[in-house]
Structure 1
Amino acid sequence: MTKDQLLTRRRALLAGAAAVTAAGTAGALALGRGAPPARPPVSAPAPGTVPSRPLKPSAYRLDPLTGYGAPRPAPHRPPVRSEPLLSMTGRGRTMLLTFDDGPHPRYTPQILDTLAEYEVRATFFVCGEMAEAHPALVARMAEDGHIVGNHTWTHPLLTSLRHGRIRSEMERTSEIVEKVYGKRPQWFRAPYGAWNRSVFQLGADLGMEPLAWTVDSLDWTTPGTGTIIERIEKGAAPGVVVLSHDAGGDRSQSVDALRSYLPRLLDSGYHLTVPRRQFT
């Protein structure tokens, strides 16, 4: 190739490059004037590269710090006891009133009304199947400031059951209480006062303390309103835990007795309250 031919070819290449540059500059000016940019063509990924993918919906979830999707905190695990708590420690003339087996649509509202009249809080050990059937009553217990404890799902004799069945009875009840009361129960009472190693262990695993009683009104035997009143008033003392019932049978005597002994205990200087994590 001659020298003249080389010069001619070089000039042609330079002219082509100048044309491409001019076209790019014109496009850039057009974008500056507001012309929409052209969508780049979709091309296959280069060999050896991993194609990018759109984020899955789960990638857009809120951060757990906001509470969305955060795991439920494990319940506080109390010590595994070998016997239930029978009384309340502390100073002064303080007592606990407790009611088992409810809630009942007839008797529980009357008990709640009496407690509200005297601005007294109590503890209700509910059965899971009753709580599921009457959730509004459990919700009212929460609104009135009462404590709701676990009394198993069907009120069985726990010492006659296998470990798995005991867990089911207790766990299902804790779940329904959390659903309708707003938080999981921190107190547990075994039906019939029948405790064993599995009951204490499972109760602690579920974050509950075992609470029994000091004074049994035996109201479930329907001994008469006067007898119930006498038993509770004679047993009154600082730290006492009183056992009564708001379901499981005819509890009209229990309702009438409460209306009599409650104001008398208050007049005698007793402070009727609910349990706290200060038992020993």
Structure 2
Amino acid sequence: MTKDQSLTGLLTRRRALLAGAAAVGAAGTAGLFATVTGEKPIRPAPAAGPQTHRALKPSAYRLEPLTGYGPPRAAPRRVLVRRRPFLRVSGRGRTIVLTFDDGPDPRYTPHILDTLREYDVRAMFFVCGEMVADNKELVARMADEGHVVGNHTWSHPLLTRLSRGRIRAEMERTCDVVEETYGERPAWFRAPYGAWNRATFQLGAELGMEPLAWTIDTLDWTTPGTGTIIHRVANGAAPGVVVLSHDAGGDRSQSVRALRAYLPRLLDSGYFVTVPERKYR
């Protein structure tokens, strides 16, 4: 055998080995997909010779799309299970947080949003899912104007009287409708009536939400008068406090008028109206 013939034989054997490795790799890849999906591996077509194209069965092309019909839902953020809700917020200077519960309500929420926009401040709205379902455009406006939308359950029940499964349903259903409308899942949760228990803290954390209560209760739901609401906010104002008001659940015209009066006074007194920041662990 000549030197050239020996070299040719060596190259031929090398090509055969590479071709065999490629075939084994292709078969292994097909086997891997079959293991994950439960589908039979798709055999590759021969590399040479006349080929006939057959329509693939549905099971054969399920692996092709890598995108769904919409953006994937983000996994809930890791949140510590608290033993009590936050009552205040930390921050530098004279910060204060305004919160509004039970909405959105087309009779009152737009007026509150108008006032907040006029003074260029952000607030938090703890919404009820059943109200969101009927007033999605207001929640979309909250998002557009930079406000934070929190979870206040679907139907505003007393959670401490519900089973764990019903508590989760109230929370999760509201998370879903807020995400659908607002574009993000709520990062904050407030229990109706301020009634917290171990299950509410655990389930809220599982859904990626921190519990927030309040420092100043305006008791505006009792319709005490516009002047009384203003007085309660002015007397209770201090760095880091959280003010509770309502934009739904009854006649909230006093709440609307009170905000228009006390908000500029807070700003003139040097308060910075803000929203809390989340620190994920």
Report the TM-score, using the length of structure 2 for normalisation: 0.78
> CA, structure 1 residues 146+69, in 2 after alignment: closer, same or farther (shift >3 Å)?
closer
Deviations 1:75-100 (A, max 9, x none): 11210001000000121000000000
The residue aligned with 1:110 is 111
1:161 aligns with 2:162: yes
Residues 1-280 of structure 1: pairs in structure 2 closer than 5 A: 40=50, 54=56, 56-62=60-66, 71-278=72-279
Could you say if the C-alpha distance between residues 92 and 279 of structure 1 is closer, same or farther in structure 2, counting changes exceeding 3 Å?
Answer: farther
Unaligned segments of structure 1, at least 5 residues:
1-38, 43-51
Kindly provide the CA deviation profile for residues 36-61 of structure 1, in whole angstroms up to 9, marking residues without a partner as x. xxx9597xxxxxxxxx9837332331
Distance 1:114 1:221 in 2: 22
Structure 2 segments unaligned to the other structure (5+ residues)? 1-48
For 1:193 and 1:185, locate their aligned partners in 2 and report how far apart those are by CA, in whole Å: 18
The answer on whether the counterparts of 2:102 and 2:248 sit within 8 Å (CA) in structure 1 is yes
CA distance in 2, matches of 1:216, 1:88: 15
Determine if contact 2:77/2:280 at 8 Å carries over to the other structure: no
- What is the root-mean-square deviation of aligned Cα atoms in Å? 2.2
Residues 218 and 233 in structure 2, CA contact (< 8 A), matched pair in contact too? yes
Counterparts of 1:211 and 1:237, CA distance in 2: 17
Q: What secondary structure, in the 3-state scheme, does the structure 1 residue paired with 2:175 have?
A: helix
Distance 1:41 1:140, change over 3 A: closer
Q: Helix, strand or coil for the counterpart of 1:164?
A: helix
SS of 1:59's equivalent in the other structure is coil
Task: Look up the match of 1:12.
Answer: none
Over 6 Å off, 4+ runs: 67-70
Rg: which structure is higher?
1
Worse-matched range after superposition: 160-169 or 68-77: 68-77
Distance 2:256 2:111 in 1: 7
Cα gap change, 1:69 to 1:107, in 2 (>3 Å): closer
Deviations 1:216-251 (A, max 9, x none): 000000000000000001100000000000000000
Q: Measured at CA, do residues 205 and 264 of structure 1 come closer, stay the same or move farther in structure 2, by a change above 3 Å?
A: same
Displacement of 1:279: 9.9
**Equivalent residue of 1:269, what SS?**
coil
Alpha-carbon offset, residue 116 of structure 1: 0.4
Distance 1:224 1:106 in 2: 18
Q: TM-score, normalised by structure 1?
A: 0.78
CA distance in 1 between partners of 2:81 and 2:182 (Å): 25
The letter for the 1-side match of 2:97 is: L
The aligned length equals 230
The 8 Å contact of residues 129 and 177 in structure 2, kept in 1 or not, is answered as yes
**Deviations 1:105-127, CA, capped at 9 Å, x for gaps:** 11000000000000010000000
